[in-house]
């Protein structure tokens, strides 16, 4: 997979995740339930999104480290 395909895939997944998060937030805010329960659900959803984003950031950092190391090895040859 070349850079353009990887970037498009990442952009798609990031857009999908953002859309899901926004849709979930709107659905929670418009749900016919108490404000306390809605806020609790919203806090849980944000925490889950934060964890997912942290995991994705960690994966990207690992990918960058691997690419840098591969570049270093090529330069030493």
DSSP 1: -
SS3 for the chain, per residue? CCHHHHHHHHHHHHHHHHHHHHHHHHHHHHCCCCHHHHHHHHHHHHHHHHHHHHHHHHHHHHHHHHHHHHHHHHHHC
pTM over 0.75: no
What pLDDT digit, counting tens, does each position of 3-27 carry?
A: 577 788 888 888 888 898 888 878 8
Can you read off the two tokens belonging to residue 51?
A: 């964890």
Residue-range domain boundaries for the chain: 3-76
59 or 5: which carries more pLDDT confidence?
Answer: 59
């Amino acid at each position: 997979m070349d850079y353009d395909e990887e970037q498009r895939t990442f952009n798609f997944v990031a857009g999908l995740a953002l859309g899901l998060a926004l849709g979930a937030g709107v659905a929670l805010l418009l749900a016919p339930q108490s404000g306390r329960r809605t806020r609790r659900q919203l806090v849980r959803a944000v925490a889950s999104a934060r964890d997912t984003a942290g995991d994705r950031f960690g994966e990207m950092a690992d990918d960058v480290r691997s690419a840098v190391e591969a570049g270093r090895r090529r330069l030493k040859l």
